Every structure is written in structure tokens, then in C-alpha cells.
Amino acid sequence: MKPRTKILAIVNVTPDSFSDGSQYNGLEESLNRCREILAQGADYLDIGGESTRPGYQPVGKEEELSRILPLIKILQREESLPVSVDTQKAWVAQRALEAGAKMINDIWGFQKDPDMAKVAASFQVPSILMHNQEGSHYDIDLLEAIKISLHRSIETALKAGLKEDLIILDPGIGFGKTFFHNWEVLRRFNELQSLGFPLLLGASRKGFLGEITGEKRADKRDDATLATSLWGVTKGASYLRVHNVKMTRDGLLVTERLMYG
């Protein structure tokens, strides 16, 4: 039995991810991780080759691609498995899509690399446009600022020729926001439905959860993640980006039973 809400399973092929670090760095380990989480109910494997944790060290496009491409190619040879490429570089996205990836997840919502929207449009793939900004100061209401920025991302995508029904929006929990901002976005998540596009919530194992629970280890924050994820679903999220797929699936089945009967 599968929930209505789609699950993007996080697969970080990076040595410095804040959550799983080098746990899944080896190709065989990454493949095993992908097989396991697909069996648990993941709808997409969100594969990233560059950490976006606080204070991360940027990597070049060739290095980033070399981390993810072997995994994507094997996954496509096996069963043409549903892969999302988590990148902010159009060059990387294009080559991942050529290798068989079927979705783009851009933490800058097509506002950093001017070619990203063109790549998405040329392949006509679902694209996650996330809100982000440098710094965490807002001159206007937080949710209004997020919506204004996401409108820019939407306009960029549509102008490039991406079909409207391929756009997914993410308010960017943990990006360009303070501890208090993150909680405000969660509390008011339903306001984002006015944008008229499917919404993704990605709060998995993030630091603001540890500040509440006192759990310093990211991989021990799955219970807190589940609480925020299920809250988000009741407020309109139709996609969840998470580490713990089984826990999320089980929680979704119960929550959706309560919501829809």
C-alpha cells in the first residue's frame, strides 16, 4: 500500500553531508542504500554530489558529476529507477538527465544558474524550485517574501518553456532562515497553497529540530522529522524529502487514513 504523498529519499554521495557523511560514499554502499529505500516505498531517489549543509565547501562541476553519474547510470541499467538530481549547476543537471535522471531539485529555484531553467525545459522533467537567499534578513513578512521569490522562480521556469504541471515548490526550510523562521514557515505552511503548485517539505534531520529535542546527532532526529513531515502533509505538502523512508511511509499511511478515510 502506497501513500498519496510522494517520498523523495535523500541519497548523499558526498564526504561532508551533515547527516549521513561518508556512510554511503562507496558505489556499492550507495546502490544497496537505493535498493533498500525503494523497497521501503520511496517514489524518487534524490541523489546529490555536493553537500549543502551549513558551512559546506563548494565543489567543481566535474567533481560533483563524478560522484553521482556512476550511480545514476547503474540505477538506469537496472530498472530505469526514478532518480532526481539534487544540484544547483545546469551542466551537472543536463548530464544527469542525459544519463536517465527524471527530476531536477535546485536549491536556488532556477535563480542562480541562468541555464538551469533551459535544461529543465529541454527535457521537460518535474522540477523542484526551492526558496533560498543569502543571509536571513527579511524586510517584509516572511511568507510574503518567500512567495515573491518563488513567483520569480515560477516565471523563470515558464519563460524557459517548462510546462506548468512540472513545477513543484519548496519553501526551503533551513536555507536563508533563522531558527525562528523555520518554525514560522512550518506553522504557516498552508499559506503557500495560494501559489497554486504542489508543495514539497524538506526538514529531514535539520539542525532546528535538534535545537528543540536536544539531539546533536543528525541521524537521531528521525522522530522529530516525522512530526514535522506529517504536520506538513496536513497543511498541504504533497512531497516529502526525507532520510528515513520506512518511518515516513508508515506515518503517512496512518495520517492519510485519518485525513481521507
Q: Which residue blocks in the chain are alpha helix, DSSP H?
A: 27-40, 61-79, 90-98, 116-123, 142-160, 179-187, 207-213, 222-234, 245-260
Residues marked active site are found at 206, 241
Q: How far is CA 21 from the centre of its chain?
A: 17
CA–CA separation, 178 vs 196, rounded Å? 26
* Torsion sign across C-alpha atoms 139, 145, 148, 150: positive
241 DSSP β-pair partners: 8
Read off φ and ψ for residue 129, nearest 5 degrees. Answer: -105, 110
Cβ-contact 206, 182 below 8 angstroms: yes
CA–CA separation, 185 vs 24, rounded Å? 31
47 DSSP β-pair partners: 11, 85
